[in-house]
Amino acid sequence: MLMHNPPHPGEVLKELCIEPLGLTVTDAAKALGVSRKTLSAILNGKSGISPEMAVRLSIAFNTSSESWLNQQTQYDLWQAEQHRKKLHVQQLSTV
């Protein structure tokens, strides 16, 4: 079952991990070993969480990498489902 309009994982990262620790984007990016631009794109919903970033986040915040990837998948799937009727796909079936 799909979650109703799940938040982008960058929003979760910002609100539940970065802000409570009082980190700046620059400080968090440095700790994660990525550029400020890369982290900012994720936090602003412009980029998604890659498997490598999921591992980085799991190490930095003592979470599971799977949880970050699951959030990204739920977000991406919900976004794709919003355009289901615009897709021109022929149904195939075996009889």
**How far is 33 from 20, CA to CA, in rounded Å?**
20
- Domains of the chain, CATH where assigned: 9-75 (1.10.260.40)
13, 72 in Cβ contact below 8 A? Answer: no
Q: What is the pLDDT along the chain (95 residues), one digit of tens a residue?
A: 556 899 999 999 999 999 999 999 999 999 999 999 999 999 999 999 999 999 999 999 999 999 999 999 999 999 999 999 999 999 998 87
pLDDT at 48: 97
**How far is 50 from 68, CA to CA, in rounded Å?**
9
pLDDT at 22: 97
pLDDT at 1: 55
Taking the alpha carbons of 11, 2, 66, 64 in that order, is the dihedral positive or negative? positive
pLDDT at 37: 98
**How far is 79 from 82, CA to CA, in rounded Å?**
5
Six token digits for residue 60:
């930095």
